[in-house]
Amino acid sequence: MPVEIAIFGALVPTLLPILALSVVLYLLLDKWSSRWNLDRWVWHPALFRLSLFVIIFTALALGVYG
């Protein structure tokens, strides 16, 4: 189970790069969903965006720790 990663000599928790990757993937998916106007099919757009980020982050974290 990976606990720390050395980045430029500094030890950072494994979840920090996963968080950064999640933010990038979230921004790409959010841009794509805005382009296709998927917000009109969602009951609560802010809650949808938050859950999308949580799903991405959890999937990547489970890929590493699962």
Domain ranges in the chain?
4-65
pTM above 0.75, yes or no: yes
* Helices and strands (H and E) in the chain: how many: 2, 2
Q: What per-residue confidence (pLDDT) applies to 4?
A: 86
Which residues have a Cβ under 8 Å from the Cβ of 21 and sit 6 or more positions away?
60
Q: What is the pLDDT of residues 19-56, one digit of tens each?
A: 999 999 999 999 999 899 888 898 999 999 999 999 99
CA distance 21 to 27: 10
Helix (H) or strand (E) holding 24: helix 15-35
What SS3 class is residue 2?
Answer: coil
Instruction: With a cut of 70, say whether residue 2 has pLDDT above it.
Output: no
Write out the two tokens for 35.
Answer: 């382009």
Q: What is the pLDDT of residues 9-18, one digit of tens each?
A: 899 998 999 9
